[in-house]
Amino acid sequence: MSKSRESYNKKEVKKRKEKKRKEKEERKLAKKEAKKKGNLEDMMAYIDENGVIISTPPDPAKKKSIELEDIQISSPKHDTTMDFDPNRKGTVSFFNESKGFGFINDSETQESVFVHANNVLEEIKEGDYVCFKMEKGPKGPIALNVKPFNKS
């Protein structure tokens, strides 16, 4: 009779592969069992009176009653006191005549407003106090009809 052609290493590799296959099959069966055992109560989540997600049902004693008449579904009425005034005053913080643009610090909101040379009515320079109309541009507020203004 001839000797077996299987070496020790081949046997070890075969054993490891078989062991991995059995472990994989066991994990697969365990997952199936877990799915069968999973019930609705395990999957439920509740929200308490503070809006926090909890795993236990909230206390019915803390339940608040809300009258149907108290619920308001509508958009808020327009408040005319907060209307936007387009006429503003401010100080020129930067102006580059060669490039044709600059920025004005709005005296009301301390916001930086972009100004283009095409929107300047009279010549301005850095540090001038100016009056202007403000509009919303594609990248932020822009100043229109800019002209120097005396503070006095």
Q: Are residue 57 and residue 92 in the same domain, yes or no?
A: no
- For residue 4, pLDDT over 60 is answered with yes
Q: Are residue 91 and residue 144 in the same domain, yes or no?
A: yes
Q: Are residue 104 and residue 139 in the same domain, yes or no?
A: yes
Name the band, by pLDDT with cuts 50, 70 and 90, for residue 70: confident
Enclosing domain of residue 34: 8-61
d(CA 143, CA 148): 13
Q: Is residue 71 in some structural domain?
A: no
pLDDT at residue 84, as a whole number: 58
Q: Is residue 143 in some structural domain?
A: yes
- The count of domains in the chain is 2
d(CA 68, CA 118): 57
> What is the 8-class DSSP label of residue 109?
T
Instruction: Indicate the pTM of the whole model.
Output: 0.44
Name the band, by pLDDT with cuts 50, 70 and 90, for residue 130: very high
Closest to 55 in 3D by CA, of 46, 63, 64: 46
Phi-psi region of 51 (alpha: psi -120 to 50; beta: other; left: phi over 0): left
1 versus 42: which is more confidently predicted?
Answer: 42
